[in-house]
């Protein structure tokens, strides 16, 4: 599966998750997700919960057809990460995993009230509520978890999540 890295340029969504593919074999196991979260400074409880939640939620959606994979390993296939896209999100990634700059800019134009290039925790909550699709509980949970972890890990000392930092996470260049 390492061929995902040899086939040319990765999509922004693939670059975003490639950091967690610690051995660069094209498959992210829950142990690698755990290691990745620890590497960015998250504690043991958050890293363990993230590994189970992320791999359990995304893994089954990314398994290639006709692939025999033990379900308990919860693998995420980098090549197919676009298949893990969930509802109630910001649509910053399209259905193919490409970054949509207009959607990203819209987040800050619409929700960054205190500073035009940063979100507070309250503004982030407003974003999450605005993105909710009716009865899409899995999507709500996915969006909530992604954004809250991003905020927790990347906010500055004053509680601002800066646009440049968020963009670097989206395009995979931060890690």
The answer to whether residues 170 and 16 touch, using CB atoms and an 8 Å cutoff, is yes
Domain range annotation of the chain: 1-84, 100-175
128-141 pLDDT tens trace? 999 998 998 888 88
pLDDT band per the 50, 70, 90 thresholds, residue 3: confident
What are phi and psi for residue 119, nearest 5 degrees?
-115, 140
103-162 pLDDT tens trace? 999 999 999 999 999 999 999 999 999 999 899 888 888 888 889 989 999 999 999 999
Alpha carbon separation from 43 to 40, 131, 148, 156, 160 (Å, rounded): 9, 28, 15, 18, 21
Q: How far apart are CA 120 and CA 111, in angstroms?
A: 9
Q: How far apart are CA 66 and CA 14, in angstroms?
A: 22
For the entire predicted model, the pTM comes to 0.86
The per-residue pLDDT for 173 is: 82
34-55 pLDDT tens trace? 999 999 999 999 999 999 999 9
């Amino acid at each position: 599966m390492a061929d995902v890295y040899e086939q040319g340029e990765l999509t922004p969504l693939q670059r975003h998750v490639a950091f967690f593919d610690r051995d660069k074999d094209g498959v992210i196991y829950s142990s690698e997700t755990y290691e990745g979260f620890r590497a960015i400074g998250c504690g043991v409880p958050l890293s363990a919960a993230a590994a189970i939640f992320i791999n359990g939620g995304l893994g089954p959606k990314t398994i290639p057809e006709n692939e025999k994979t033990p379900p308990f390993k919860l693998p995420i296939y980098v090549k197919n990460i676009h298949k893990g896209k969930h509802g109630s999100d910001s649509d910053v990634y399209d259905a193919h995993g490409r970054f949509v700059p207009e959607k990203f800019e819209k987040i800050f134009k619409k929700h960054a009230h205190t500073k035009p290039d940063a979100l507070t925790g309250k503004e982030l909550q407003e974003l999450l509520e605005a993105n909710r699709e009716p009865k899409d509980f899995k999507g709500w949970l996915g969006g909530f978890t992604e954004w809250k972890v991003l905020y927790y890990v990347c906010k500055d000392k004053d509680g601002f999540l800066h646009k440049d930092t968020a963009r670097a996470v989206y395009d995979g260049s931060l890690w």
